[in-house]
Every structure is written in structure tokens, then in C-alpha cells.
Amino acid sequence: MNKTTDSCPAFPGLLEEMSVDDVRAFDPEVVVLPLGSTEPHGPHLPMGTDTYQVTRLCRLAVEQANNKGGRVLLYPTLPITNTANFSKFPFALRVSIRTLMSVIVDIVTQCKEDGINKVVIVNGHGGNPATINAALREISGMDDMPFVCSTSGIVPEGFVSPIEHPSDHAGESETSRMMWIRPELVREDKLDNNPIGRLRVKTLANTHFVRPWHLYVPVSAGGETRASSAEKGQAIVEANAEGLADLLLELSQTPYGENFPYI
């Protein structure tokens, strides 16, 4: 049986579900490239947590922006990025930092070949920002490349986080988000107050160093998770999506030209 054409894709701009004719007719102005990760997230969350979260955030934001007249094209989420400091845990999937930089540069290069002048990288994994920033810096010195920026989400002014126990990894915030996004994958019987490594050299807290994750979060999740809830997760994801949608819409509607993004 033939399906009606308006049943697919789920929303305009979702590249994976568009046909080649759809994407030509859509004539995108901005590309969104989500970066996820596949890595341990404690005994209670799935390995794909970062990928699921950034995918949902981007889908919400792109749909909102395009409903308001944006022409934003959402790429598939990269599920394998960099987890060099996770190497003591099993199946923390990774490519090298240099490879990830090359992947970003290659994808942005192809965006230009496809006529795209504005690219937004949305990052869902805490191990990636230094690599993304280095790639953006390299791109900025290359001729004839699109404008590229990166974010991990933008909360609208005045948003107050409902999180009571902040954590860098698989804590109340990530657990709450997954309880909303993929509740069937959260092992609620495993919610706990998970240990966080304490520094022998306390002033190192004021510096940047790469934390060996097996020492920092020995069970691959850190902090109190028992106050997590789907309501908190929904509030965080929807707030970030709203801020991201505003950026995407403005980028989409601002003409590209010499001196972009300056006047």
C-alpha cells in the first residue's frame, strides 16, 4: 500500500527521512550536525545516552525553527566520537582526536560543496569541546569554507535549572533527561548516590586537566541520581531546544554574504 507523502518525513528538515527530491525542494540554508557518544553511563543509563539526548534536542529545535519558517537541515547524529579518558571502561567507543577533527572538517567541507554556508555543531558529549574548537579554528584558516559555530544547547534567559545534585556524568540531569527521552532504558532500581573521585592536589580544581574517568567516576556515573524525574528532564531539554531553535531561525533568516556574521 502506498503511504501518503505527508506522513514522511516526521518533520521538514530531517535529512534521514527525506528523499533526494525532498531535500532539493527544501533548499536548506543551515546544517545542524549533532555529535553524540557511545560510552558507559553507570549501572542505570544506556551506553547511547549522549546520542539519544543530543538527537532529541536537535529534533525538537530544528522542528521548532522550521515551523517558524526556518530552512534548517538536520544531519544524522555521529554516535562515535572521542572517549580517550574512558579507556579503562569496556566499549567506550572512540576515534582519535585527530580523526574526529578530520571528520568534522570533512563534513563541513562537503556542506560547502552542497551549497551550505552556515553550519551549527551541537555537541552532546563532554569529551568533545576541545576537539570541536580545534577543528573550528582550523576551518577558520581555510579558504572558502562555511561559517561554523558550536553549542551544547542554549537555555533562554531566566531559566532556572531544576537539578538539585549537579554532576559531570550520568547524574541527576542526564538521568532525568533519559527518564523523559527513553524511560524504558533507565534502570530505576539502580539509582544511587554514586562516588565522585576527590583530588589529592586540591588546587588542581582551578586548572584544566583531562580526568581519568575510572578515577573520577569509578562506576562510570557520579553523584546523587535518586531525585531524578522525567519532569525535570523534559524542562531541561525543552528549554535548551527553545534557545537552540532561536539561534537556528535567526541564522536561517539572516542572509549570508561578505563579512558574515558581522555587518
* Interaction mask 20-49, Zn ion, x per CB under 5 A: -----------------------------x
Residue (of 99, 96, 95, 122) closest to 31 by Cα position? 122
For residues 129 and 118, give the distance between their C-alpha atoms in angstroms, rounded to a whole number: 19
Judged by CB, which is closer to Zn ion: 38, or 117? 38
CB of 114 to Zn ion, least distance (A): 31
Judged by CB, which is closer to Zn ion: 49, or 66? 49
Q: Is 63 in the site for Zn ion (CB under 5 A)?
A: no
Judged by CB, which is closer to Zn ion: 117, or 220? 220
Half-sphere exposure of 33 (CA within 13 A, CB side): 20
How many chain residues are in contact with Zn ion, going by CB under 5 A?
2
CB of 54 to Zn ion, least distance (A): 9
Judged by CB, which is closer to Zn ion: 92, or 116? 92
Q: Is 172 in the site for Zn ion (CB under 5 A)?
A: no
Closest chain position to Zn ion (CB): 50
CB of 49 to Zn ion, least distance (A): 5
Residue (of 81, 54, 64) closest to 151 by Cα position? 54
Looking up cell 546544517 gives: 31
CB of 45 to Zn ion, least distance (A): 8
Q: Is 50 in the site for Zn ion (CB under 5 A)?
A: yes
* Grid cell of 26 as nine digits: 527544501
Handedness of CA 238, 117, 100, 143 (dihedral sign): negative
CB of 50 to Zn ion, least distance (A): 4
Determine how many CB atoms are found less than 10 A away from the CB of residue 243. 17
Residue (of 195, 193, 200, 190) closest to 218 by Cα position? 195
Q: Which residues bind Zn ion (CB under 5 A)?
A: 49-50
